[in-house]
Every structure is written in C-alpha cells, then in structure tokens.
C-alpha cells in the first residue's frame, strides 16, 4: 500500500531537466575560447598595410585646358573631313568626351591592402605568385606604385600611395617582390612627354 502511494507520488514529481547547459568547467576548451585558435594559426592571412587613396591621379584643370582640347579637336575634324575619314572623326569626338570626363569628374577613393597573400585593390585581389616586380613613378605630382604581373592582362597594376611613404612600401614589398630601381620610359611615354612639353594644353603654375 505504502509502496504504491510512493510510486504514485513520484510519478508527479518534477524530473531533473536533461538539457541544461554544462557548467563552464565542463565545457570543451574550444567553446570557452573560440578565437584562441585563430590567433595562433600560422596560416592566417594578415594585413600588413592598408590605406585609402583616389583610384587614379587627378589634377583640376582650368579653362585654358578645355579650350585647347576643343581647338585641337576642331582642327583634327576639319583635316579628317577633307580626307573623308568619317569613322576617325567619330573616334576623335569619343576621345574628346573621355578626356573631358576624366578632367571634370574627380575619382572616388578606394582601399588598397598589402597582405601576406598578395595585394587587394578594392574588390580585386592579386596573389604574390601572379606578380613579378615593382617600381615607383611620379605623375602629376602624385607618387605611384607600379607592379608588373606575369600575365599579359592586366600586365601592370597601379596603386596611388597618397600619404604613404615609398620607403615604407618598399620595406613591406621586398620580402615578396624584387624592386626595379631604374625603369626606362617606353616609346609611348617619351612621345607623351614630348607632346606635353612642346604643345602644352595649359600653362603649368609655378
């Protein structure tokens, strides 16, 4: 009789919950310290340097620059019209539109990163195995970092240093890429320099 009543009472007693979390001392080590493995992982990709700079060299142009562009375009259009080169006339107008757009619209800032795996320019990544060597050049008073690629396309990537010093970049890149101290200008660069000096589109300010 007593045994039957005890069993009946035990039936309605609350049972010990089985899904309670384990005490902290019984939890696995990886659960209490989730980032410890990442901190000691020798294969983790590390960012060595990151900065923000414009996507291309930019210099504000004056009215003289645009007037010279329009004058040269009109002169070329007349010459091409006399020779019935209508397709070239369209090409010249297209080039004029591009030149004006680049001079009027300032570039937006993008993020440059140098990591242990390679170089990241905004949303484009290049592995060290894809890169050949690097050198520095100045254009419109802006310091540029040029990196040659093994592939024909793109062939070269250009990073604007902004406020970053060239020696700082050189110290980071030398463990990964050789540095080219002397770079001979190409025929296109020589021609562009000769044209800009002989027929300047605007007077340079002292």
pLDDT tens per residue, range 132-141: 999 999 887 8
pLDDT for the residue 58: 85
Please count the structural domains in the chain: 1
State the average pLDDT over residues 107-129. 94
Q: Considering the domain boundaries, does residue 66 fall inside one?
A: no
pLDDT for the residue 65: 87
pLDDT for the residue 20: 52
Characterize 152-167 residue by residue with b for buried, 16 or more Cβ atoms within 10 angstroms of its Cβ, and e for exposed. eeeeebebbbeebeee
Q: Considering the domain boundaries, does residue 74 fall inside one?
A: no
pLDDT for the residue 138: 87
Nearest to 125 by CA among 53, 177, 57, 47: 47
Q: Considering the domain boundaries, does residue 23 fall inside one?
A: no
The whole domain housing 173 covers: 48-56+111-182
Average pLDDT value over all residues in the chain:
81
State the average pLDDT over residues 23-34. 48
Structural contact between residues 113 and 124, judged by C-beta atoms closer than 8 angstroms: no
Q: Considering the domain boundaries, does residue 139 fall inside one?
A: yes
Local confidence band at 185 (pLDDT 50, 70, 90 cut-offs): confident
Q: What is the CATH number of the domain that holds 173?
A: 2.30.29
State the average pLDDT over residues 129-154. 91
| Region of poorest pLDDT, from 59-68, 115-124, 150-159, 174-183 | 59-68
Distance CA 135, CA 179 (A): 6
Q: Is the pLDDT of residue 198 over 70?
A: yes
pTM to 2 decimals?
A: 0.67
Q: Considering the domain boundaries, does residue 154 fall inside one?
A: yes
Q: For Cα atoms 110, 115, 119, give the angle at the middle one, nearest 5 degrees.
A: 50
Q: Considering the domain boundaries, does residue 85 fall inside one?
A: no
C-alpha neighbours within 13 Å on the C-beta side of residue 32: 9
pLDDT for the residue 32: 44
Q: Considering the domain boundaries, does residue 164 fall inside one?
A: yes
Local confidence band at 78 (pLDDT 50, 70, 90 cut-offs): very high
Q: Could you count the other beta carbons within 10 Å of the beta carbon of residue 51?
A: 17
Q: Considering the domain boundaries, does residue 41 fall inside one?
A: no
In this predicted model, which residue has the larger pLDDT, 160 or 139?
Answer: 160
As a whole-number percent, the residues of the chain with pLDDT over 90 amount to 47
Local confidence band at 9 (pLDDT 50, 70, 90 cut-offs): low
């Amino acid at each position: 009789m007593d045994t039957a009543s005890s069993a009946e009472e035990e039936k309605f007693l609350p049972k010990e919950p089985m899904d309670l979390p384990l005490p902290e001392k019984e939890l696995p080590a990886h659960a209490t310290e989730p980032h410890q493995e990442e901190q000691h992982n020798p294969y983790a990709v590390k960012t060595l340097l990151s900065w923000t700079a414009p996507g291309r060299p930019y210099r504000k142009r004056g009215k003289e620059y645009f007037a010279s562009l329009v004058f040269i375009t009109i002169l070329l259009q007349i010459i091409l019209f006399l020779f019935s080169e209508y397709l070239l006339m369209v090409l010249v107008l297209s080039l004029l539109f591009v030149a004006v757009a680049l001079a009027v619209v300032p570039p937006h800032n993008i993020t440059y990163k140098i990591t242990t795996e390679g170089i990241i320019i905004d949303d484009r990544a290049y592995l060290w195995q894809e890169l050949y060597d690097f050198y520095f050049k100045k254009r419109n008073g802006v310091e540029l970092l040029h990196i040659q690629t093994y592939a024909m396309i793109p062939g070269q990537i250009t990073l604007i240093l902004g406020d970053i010093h060239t020696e700082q970049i050189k110290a980071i890149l030398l463990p990964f890429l050789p540095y080219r101290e002397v770079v001979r200008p190409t025929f296109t660069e020589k021609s562009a320099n000769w044209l800009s000096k002989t027929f300047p589109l605007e007077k340079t300010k002292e």
